[in-house]
């Protein structure tokens, strides 16, 4: 058995006891010196910086976080970290807290972060060792400042974030991610940035401070843990960050990178909740032991638990039926795991088959700008989240649905998914939105992943491409990565629409047109329109590994119609799993090269003990896709949804630290302090 996120159950108890004893130790309990500094940047702007020190002589290892949020609640919680002998530095980025300047939405975080490091290293209370981390908007500054940082920034824990704000946040597939971006800019008082986004729809040099190019890995010198979720806003950003860090030229640094991908949405990092779906209890992380282990691994250079991890741990999701395949942790030596591409072909009768269709076909995809296809679940920051049922989306006339016949064997999909579709437009542009769902025998159609691609941006984000009307063209829709097992008797479904609103803006070329056909799907017998699934390559199966189908056997043919949306553009990273990288096969192999791991060695009786495993409170407000009451089809980035309107969540926890679906006990700064976890964690599950 390979250890997972920090320890076995017994080791967790030991870690908890150790942490508790340290908290009440006479030498450390209540021993704290708090300083508040206004640290000047090179341009004269002063940043509000809180310093929490043990009340003892000497110098200490430093935990640094930089935040764009005004709230100071977590500062009091983090003050307990000095009981471990750490100095804690909390710096408010420009325009937040008491810092001077206006909010910069990450644009100055690279240089400001480097200067903050230099300032810390010059202080008498710093022993020259620094750890940094956070999640979401606290991890993005850490990502951006890593290349070229002083090497005494030894390690980072980078949770649910990205190193490419353009492709993973602002513009997915060239389409503005309007609702999430506007809400977040409102939260941090930076709504005026919408004008800049309108002027920089292409990934021109204006975006350089906000995205790390592959070439910058030469300057990465931090060991890191990259933590993400399959239904997170930054799913692909987390994976791409890990892959970029793995290309660091120093093998010591490259080999001290870990990737952990769980089944959670943005507001339950390390947890087991993805919108309406709650995964088994063993999907959750042991936060206490992980954080304690991380700090030792960082400052001492080793930790027996983390050093025993496989480099990649991912949760292989499955359906919510008793005994369903999947719903287990897997370990792998790197990402992506070796996989072959299995193609499912779209046919004119609504079928989705493992062989090309018998004859050519066409399918018109409709769009009514006044009533676009609605966002329902998925990787969202606001509105409905996660594994939502898509039946209401599929029933609309603007959705075209393709459904496989029932599988006779499990089909395991692990890696980066794409839909390659042949389309032709009736106008000058269009957006191709795709959802992939798991269709249960009872008729539920549960979202697994989705994506979107603007036709004029099909050749990349540097310049727009012409869209010749009526001429068929092939477009790759990036569906991001996932790890999922489709169970026997389940079906795979592809839903194609011309919008996914209000998550994404409506195509500007179509906003003022009457309802009608946005584009036509071309479904040739040659099989040019396909869903491309990465199926793990055959390997010697371990006893707990799910047996995937050698050749899916189907029982009946089914055809229907339905709809969807969403996607993301990205840098072409070294060793990427971009379109065309996977060997093609029309029949999935039999097993996965990845090994099953049990990150949480929990006695069965513990899982059944209510007082040891309290339920997670998920009673959070879900405002749904129409919370703003704004027209999603207006003309500019700034006018669709007023920034901040779609902000139902307080900035106290969960993902973004901008709040959200925050369960009781969610930890806003996962990577920073085990004490913070202790402060919140007792109301969360312990394993």
Nearest by Cα to 427 from 476, 481, 473, 469? 469
Instruction: Give me the helices (H) in 286-388, please.
Output: 287-299, 304-307
pLDDT surpassing 90 at residue 158:
yes
Whether 525 contacts 360, CB under 8 Å: yes
Dihedral of alpha carbons 669, 671, 672, 674, sign: positive
Radius of gyration of the chain (CA): 24
| Sequential DSSP letters for 498-559 | S--BTTSPPPTTTTTSPSEEEEEEEE-TT--SEEEEEEEPP-PPPTTS----SS--B-----
Give the Cβ contact number of residue 56 at 10 Å. Answer: 13
Distance CA 637, CA 198 (A): 6
Q: Token match 């935040």: residue?
A: 67
Q: Which two tokens stand for residue 675?
A: 């004490």
Task: Note the pLDDT of residue 78.
Answer: 72
> Which range is least confidently modeled, 8-17, 457-466, 518-527?
8-17
Q: Give me the helix-helix angle, 287-299 and 9-24, nearest 10°.
A: 70
The model carries a pTM of: 0.82
pLDDT surpassing 80 at residue 555:
no
Whether 595 contacts 331, CB under 8 Å: yes
CA torsion angle for 511, 517, 519, 522 (degrees, to 10)? 170
Beta strands, E only, 177-256: 223-231
Residue 111, classed as helix, strand or coil, is: helix
Task: Note the pLDDT of residue 169.
Answer: 94
> Which range is least confidently modeled, 76-80, 405-409, 494-498, 660-664?
660-664
Average pLDDT (395-414) is: 98
Average pLDDT (627-646) is: 39
pLDDT surpassing 70 at residue 455:
yes
Nearest by Cα to 206 from 7, 461, 507? 461
Residue 156, classed as helix, strand or coil, is: strand
pLDDT surpassing 90 at residue 580:
no
Distance CA 432, CA 451 (A): 8
Distance CA 429, CA 9 (A): 55
Dihedral of alpha carbons 623, 627, 628, 631, sign: positive
Beta strands, E only, 266-397: 273-274, 277-278, 312-316, 328-332, 339-346, 352-353, 361-367
Task: Note the pLDDT of residue 637.
Answer: 55
Average pLDDT (505-523) is: 96
User: Counting every residue, how long is the chain?
Assistant: 687
Q: Which residues pair with 403 in a beta bridge?
A: 351, 493
User: What are phi and psi for residue 282, nearest 5 degrees?
Assistant: -75, 5
Give the Cβ contact number of residue 304 at 10 Å. Answer: 12
Domain ranges within the chain, ordered by starting residue: 174-187+275-279+317-570+591-648
In the chain, the N- to C-terminal Cα span, in Å, equals 17
Nearest by Cα to 180 from 107, 228, 234? 234
Whether 225 contacts 294, CB under 8 Å: yes
Whether 282 contacts 271, CB under 8 Å: no
Fold topology of 174-187+275-279+317-570+591-648: Jelly Rolls (2.60.120)
For residue 493, the surrounding DSSP H or E stretch is strand 491-497
Nearest by Cα to 34 from 13, 55, 14, 8? 55
Whether 230 contacts 483, CB under 8 Å: yes
Average pLDDT (4-20) is: 33
Average pLDDT (435-446) is: 98
What's the pLDDT tens digit per position in 413-423? 999 999 999 99
Average pLDDT (441-466) is: 97
- If phi > 0 it is left, if psi is from -120 to 50 it is alpha, else beta; for residue 594 that is beta
CA torsion angle for 292, 144, 67, 179 (degrees, to 10)? -110
Q: Which residue has the higher pLDDT, 332 or 583?
A: 332
Distance CA 134, CA 140 (A): 8
pLDDT surpassing 60 at residue 458:
yes
What's the pLDDT tens digit per position in 104-152? 999 999 999 999 999 999 999 999 999 998 899 999 999 999 999 999 9
List of residues 6+ apart from 204 with CB closer than 8 A: 462
Confidence of residue 606 (pLDDT cuts 50, 70, 90): very low
Q: Which residues pair with 304 in a beta bridge?
A: none
Nearest by Cα to 617 from 672, 533, 682? 682
Whether 281 contacts 290, CB under 8 Å: no
Nearest by Cα to 32 from 40, 45, 41, 23? 23
Residue 189, classed as helix, strand or coil, is: coil
Task: Note the pLDDT of residue 289.
Answer: 75
Distance CA 298, CA 288 (A): 16
Distance CA 599, CA 227 (A): 14
Nearest by Cα to 529 from 358, 651, 347, 662? 347
Tell me how many degrees the CA angle 296-302-303 measures, rounded to the nearest 5.
Answer: 65
Q: Which residues pair with 65 in a beta bridge?
A: 90
- If phi > 0 it is left, if psi is from -120 to 50 it is alpha, else beta; for residue 539 that is beta
């Amino acid at each position: 058995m390979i250890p997972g996120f920090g320890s076995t159950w017994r080791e967790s108890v030991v870690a908890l006891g150790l942490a508790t004893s340290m908290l009440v130790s006479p030498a450390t309990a209540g021993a704290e010196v708090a300083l508040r500094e206004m640290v000047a940047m090179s341009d004269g702007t002063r940043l509000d910086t809180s310093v929490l020190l043990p009340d003892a002589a000497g110098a200490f290892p430093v935990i640094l976080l930089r935040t764009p949020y005004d709230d100071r609640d977590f500062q009091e919680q983090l003050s307990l970290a000095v009981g471990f002998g750490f100095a804690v530095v909390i710096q408010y980025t420009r325009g937040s807290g008491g810092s001077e300047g206006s909010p910069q939405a990450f644009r100055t975080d690279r240089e400001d972060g480097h200067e903050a490091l230099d300032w810390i290293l010059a202080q008498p209370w710093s022993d020259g060792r620094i750890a940094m981390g956070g999640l979401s908007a606290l991890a993005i500054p850490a990502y951006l400042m890593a290349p070229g940082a002083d090497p005494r920034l030894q390690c980072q824990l980078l949770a649910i974030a990205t190193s490419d704000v353009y492709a993973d946040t602002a513009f997915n597939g060239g389409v503005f991610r309007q609702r999430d971006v506007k809400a977040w800019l409102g939260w941090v008082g930076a709504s005026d940035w919408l004008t800049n986004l309108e002027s920089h729809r292409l990934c021109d040099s204006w975006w350089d401070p906000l995205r790390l190019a592959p070439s910058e890995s030469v300057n990465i010198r931090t060991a890191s843990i990259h933590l993400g979720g399959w239904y997170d806003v930054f799913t692909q950003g987390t994976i791409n960050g890990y892959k970029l860090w793995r290309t660091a030229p120093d093998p010591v640094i490259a080999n001290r990178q870990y990737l952990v991908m769980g089944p959670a949405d943005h507001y339950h990092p390390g947890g087991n909740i993805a919108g309406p779906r709650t995964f088994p209890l063993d999907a959750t992380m042991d936060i206490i032991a992980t954080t304690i282990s991380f700090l030792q691994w960082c400052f001492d250079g080793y930790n027996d638990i983390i050093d025993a991890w496989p480099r990649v741990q991912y949760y292989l999701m499955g359906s919510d039926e008793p005994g369903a395949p999947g719903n287990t942790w897997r370990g792998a030596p790197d990402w992506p795991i070796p996989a072959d591409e299995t193609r499912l072909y779209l046919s004119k009768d609504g079928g989705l088959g493992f062989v090309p269709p018998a004859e050519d076909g066409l399918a018109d995809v409709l769009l009514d700008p006044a009533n676009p296809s609605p966002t329902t679940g998925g990787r969202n920051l606001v509105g409905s989240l996660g594994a939502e049922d898509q039946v209401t989306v599929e029933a609309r006339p603007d959705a075209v649905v393709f459904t496989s016949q029932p599988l006779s064997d499990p089909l395991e999909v692990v890696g980066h998914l794409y839909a390659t579709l042949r389309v032709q437009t009736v106008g000058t542009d269009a957006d191709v939105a795709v959802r992939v769902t798991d269709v249960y025998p009872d008729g539920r159609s549960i979202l697994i992943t989705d994506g979107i691609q603007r036709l004029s941006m099909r050749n990349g984000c540097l310049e727009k491409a012409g869209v010749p009307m009526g001429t068929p063209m092939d477009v790759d829709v990036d569906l991001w990565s996932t790890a999922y097992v489709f169970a026997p008797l389940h079906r795979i479904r592809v839903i194609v629409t011309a919008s996914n609103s209000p998550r994404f803006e409506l195509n500007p070329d179509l906003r003022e047109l009457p309802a009608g056909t946005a584009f036509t799907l071309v479904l040739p017998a040659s099989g040019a329109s396909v869903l491309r699934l990465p199926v793990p390559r055959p390997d010697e199966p371990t006893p707990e590994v799910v047996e995937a189908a050698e050749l899916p056997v189907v029982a009946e043919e089914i055809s229907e119609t339905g709809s969807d949306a969403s996607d993301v553009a990205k840098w072409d990273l070294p060793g990427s799993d971009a379109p065309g990288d996977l060997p093609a096969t029309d029949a999935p192999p039999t097993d996965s090269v990845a090994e099953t791991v049990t990150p949480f060695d929990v006695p069965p009786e513990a899982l059944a003990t209510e007082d040891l495993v309290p339920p997670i409170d998920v009673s959070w407000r879900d405002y749904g896709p129409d919370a703003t009451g704004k027209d999603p089809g207006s003309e500019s980035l700034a006018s669709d949804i007023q920034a901040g309107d779609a902000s139902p969540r307080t900035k106290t926890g969960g993902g973004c630290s901008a709040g959200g679906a925050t369960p009781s006990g969610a930890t806003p700064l996962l990577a920073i302090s085990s004490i913070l976890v202790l402060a919140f964690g007792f109301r969360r599950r312990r394993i």
